[in-house]
Amino acid sequence: MAIDLSPQPSVQTSVPPVDQIDPHGYLRLQMRVIGGQSLALGKVDAFERDATTGLLTSLTVRHGLVRNKRTVVLSKQIKWVNQDSVVLNLSRAAFKRLPQAAP
């Protein structure tokens, strides 16, 4: 039996740019928000879209011991959104340095 060792064409999987994430696809309130090293950061409290394009601009994450803090995360800091969580390109320390939203 012969094995074909000729070069195979590479298949590239493309991940859509963050500004093209469809907020109507999977994104919903109360989704888990996960940071670097798969650490839970909080839950989605709100999300904002651009009024003209409808594209996602930011998320508000509710977190803290009694969920009394709210932090705004820009869409460019989102790595991906799947069916049950939002994954950020931020470590826990970087997340804590983001500006907090009004209660």
Q: What was the pLDDT predicted at 23?
A: 45
Sequence-distant (≥ 6) Cβ neighbours of residue 61 within 8 angstroms:
33, 41, 42, 43, 44, 45, 70, 71, 72, 73, 95
Number of domains in the chain: 1
- CATH number of the domain that 56 lies in? 2.30.30.240
Instruction: State the Cα–Cα distance between residues 57 and 67, nearest whole angstrom.
Output: 23
Q: What was the pLDDT predicted at 63?
A: 92
In a domain, 48, yes or no: yes
Q: What was the pLDDT predicted at 13?
A: 46
Owning domain of residue 40: 19-96
In a domain, 4, yes or no: no
Q: What was the pLDDT predicted at 93?
A: 92
Sequence-distant (≥ 6) Cβ neighbours of residue 23 within 8 angstroms:
47, 49, 54, 55, 56
Per-block average pLDDT, block size 10, for the chain (103 residues)? 53 50 67 91 90 86 87 91 88 91 78
Strand partners, 49: 56
